[in-house]
Amino acid sequence: MAPMRNKWKKTAIQRLPTSGEPFDGPVGSLVWGRIPGQPWWPGITVDGQDCGMPDISSDHKWVFWLEDRRVSKVQSKWVQHFKDRYSLYFDSTRKGKIYESAVVQAIKVYAKHLGHESGKWTNKQALKWADGGFQQNGVRKVEGVTPVPLSHVIQDDLQLIRKCVERSKQNNGSSPIKNSVQHGKQNNEPSRKRRSSISSVSELKTDVQYDDLAKVKSGEMSIRRLCLGCKSAEVKIVGEHPYFEGSLCKICMEALKKHCFEFGDDGIHTHCAICSRAGRVYVCDRPGCCKVYCTPCIEVLAAEGAKMLIEKMQPWQCFLCSDVRPTVNGIITPRHESVILSRITALFSLDKIPLFCGDDLPLSEDGLPLVSSNRKNGLRVLSLFDGISTGLFALDKLQIEVEKYYASEVDGDAINVSKLNFKDKIEYVGPVETLNLRKLKALGRIDLLLGGSPCTELSLANPVRKGLFDTDASGSLFFEYFRVLVTLRMLQGNCMYWLFENTAAMPCSMKATISRYLGRNPTVFDAAWLSAQHRTRLFWGNIPGWGKKVAKCNVKLDDCLIPGLNRIAAVDMIRTVTTNSNSLRQGKTMTHPVRMNGKEDTLWITELERVFGFETHYTDTGNLGISKRQQLLGRAWSVHVAVHLMKPLQSVFKKRNTKQGYRRVII
């Protein structure tokens, strides 16, 4: 049976100060809720049964997040009454339309409940009324946390899930969702009441919604008019879905951008590949894929009865990994692989972010930016956060003459790896913070500034990430890169190439901040397009040609295994390797990716080096443990990607004239 799992936003409660008395109000209460690591956000408490989720104990609540349109399990102490805590939790300085819209929606619902005709209020009016103390209209009296009627947005989402639950009740006695609902019903009287109180409204809405789907299914309406996220044609479409035929509305597009590179600790995606919602999901069994699909999407978009078929399939390969089968796919039509690549890339480069400045270099006749040296000199590089010098390794592979390679790095083991491989070719310049104006001036001309600052504090995988602005945390090192970039530009004009890299799994707001500072949007790149590993990263820079289509490579994991020892790859491609040794295990079963003499075996460190594009023993300094070597690789760039991104420099800078590269020869 295809695996199922529940995924909620991750929590790390113990790292946060407590907020107040645990919330004890009834289902349907307007609240502020908080997932640790995230700001307080307005929501409404819902019954698990209303959306197909299991019952939970009283120290947790199910909260439906307004505008975000997802449900999370939240500790009761992180749920607080909306009106009572409004002045404390509403952050009027916080930017973002979705946040404001969520708060306004909550205010309007509350105001309506107090007898106001709030439907037509502007955002300004609603916020003003709330600031004025939530004055009630007429004699209607509302006490504390009395539940308020659910808004249409909530009804839309909850009823979609609920509809599925009802369907599975009719069709399938063994559905896990059905079981959990029935179990809840027997034990939980108030829940049942809540269910019946929304059913009359949702029936009507369901018909309207499924009308759109029915029209698409019958061919009456093009799927391009349908938002695959909210399954409606009555929303404003803002773009096409990158993976499947169909479109997305603004909210669903934002959700997709936010979550499409988000993975759990097990390397499996956290959100549905179609609608980007979390919850109860089916996991693709192809280890290299790791995509998940939520039950509502499978229920309403796949063919009739497909859910049961999928549950029986052993293994189940998802809609993107297997051929289209009308009996399963329904209206889920995957796009061609090459189209997906370009759409994912376009998704990030089309962002209309106001940028502080651009630094488009003057172009030569062949479309390449002119640098001060006016080409065909050796390249002078400054590499910040140099790690194991993947930048130099790639330039060496490209046979570009590197006149000078300055590196800033603080990890002694990483420095040893680089020194051992490149001897005196690298000149270390100390921690990045020490690169003041005087030091930078002393370096002389720099043609290329490289850098990928630490991503731990930016990554969505870290629920307690500190972000970019905590000056005590490594996330703020991005600003060191920015400072050096600006200083070098000031010293030598706009005549320099630069490349900045970071994880793709960072919140959209951080991407936008980095883009504003760097003056351009990132290009997304997955090492899977060129090698046998997934490694999705964002690249900002001014080296031309990044938007060009990549010819997909056919390198497979088998090609990276040590030959002659009967080692066979169990997967074609490994998932993103991190500094955690578990990241070398694959898929939901967390198996090793190699079989040797018929038995499961771990990927050897030398093989991992080859997967990254290094040579065997690149990180072997003589006495460095396997786990430290994996950590160094887990932070590194993919050589294949670095080579691809810097290849255009070949026609600008001198070719190395010695056959022997800069690397030592390994004996």
> Which positions touch Zn ion (CB under 5 A)?
227, 229-230, 249, 252, 272, 274-275, 284, 286, 289, 291, 294, 297, 318, 320-321
The listed partner (Zn ion, ligand SAM, none) that binds 229, CB under 5 to 8 Å by sort, is Zn ion
Q: Which residue is nearest to ligand SAM (CB)?
A: 387
Distance CA 562, CA 603 (A): 10
The structure tokens listed for 162 are 């609920």
Cβ neighbours of residue 323 under 8 Å, at least 6 residues apart? none
Residues that bind ligand SAM (CB under 6 A): 385, 387-388, 390, 408-411, 414, 431-433, 452, 454-455, 477, 635-637
Q: How far is the CB of 409 from ligand SAM (least distance, A)?
A: 5
The listed partner (Zn ion, ligand SAM, none) that binds 387, CB under 5 to 8 Å by sort, is ligand SAM
Q: How far is the CB of 473 from ligand SAM (least distance, A)?
A: 11
Q: How far is the CB of 320 from ligand SAM (least distance, A)?
A: 29
Bridge partners, 248 (sequence order):
239
Cβ proximity of 281 and 52 under 8 Å: no
Region class of 201: left (phi > 0), else alpha (psi between -120 and 50), else beta: alpha
Q: What are the phi and psi torsion angles at 269 (to 5°)?
A: -55, 150
Judged by beta carbon, residue 43 or residue 613, the one nearer ligand SAM is 613
- Per DSSP, helices labelled H in 77-151 are 86-89, 97-113, 123-131
Judged by beta carbon, residue 114 or residue 440, the one nearer ligand SAM is 440
Of the candidates 164, 289, 294, 455, the residue annotated as catalytic is 455
Q: How far is the CB of 55 from Zn ion (least distance, A)?
A: 23
The listed partner (Zn ion, ligand SAM, none) that binds 164, CB under 5 to 8 Å by sort, is none
The listed partner (ligand SAM, Zn ion, none) that binds 321, CB under 5 to 8 Å by sort, is Zn ion
What's CA 6's distance to the chain center, in Å? Answer: 18
The listed partner (Zn ion, ligand SAM, none) that binds 410, CB under 5 to 8 Å by sort, is ligand SAM
Edge to edge, the sheet with strand 567-569 lists 567-569, 594-596, 599-601
Q: How far is the CB of 536 from Zn ion (least distance, A)?
A: 15
What DSSP string runs through 428-478?
A: E---GGG--HHHHHHT---SEEEE----TTT-TT-TT---SS-TTSGGGGH
- Per DSSP, helices labelled H in 140-294 are 152-171, 176-187, 189-218, 250-259
Judged by beta carbon, residue 398 or residue 574, the one nearer Zn ion is 574
Q: How far is the CB of 603 from ligand SAM (least distance, A)?
A: 19
Distance CA 156, CA 373 (A): 61
The structure tokens listed for 573 are 């491609």
Our answer to whether residue 455 is catalytic in this structure is: yes
Judged by beta carbon, residue 237 or residue 626, the one nearer ligand SAM is 626
The listed partner (ligand SAM, Zn ion, none) that binds 390, CB under 5 to 8 Å by sort, is ligand SAM
Q: How far is the CB of 289 from Zn ion (least distance, A)?
A: 3
Distance CA 360, CA 560 (A): 39
Judged by beta carbon, residue 210 or residue 428, the one nearer Zn ion is 210
Judged by beta carbon, residue 145 or residue 227, the one nearer Zn ion is 227
The structure tokens listed for 35 are 């997932």
Cβ proximity of 275 and 366 under 8 Å: no
Bridge partners, 548 (sequence order):
none
The listed partner (ligand SAM, Zn ion, none) that binds 249, CB under 5 to 8 Å by sort, is Zn ion
Judged by beta carbon, residue 52 or residue 475, the one nearer ligand SAM is 475
Distance CA 629, CA 611 (A): 14
Residues serving a catalytic function are 455
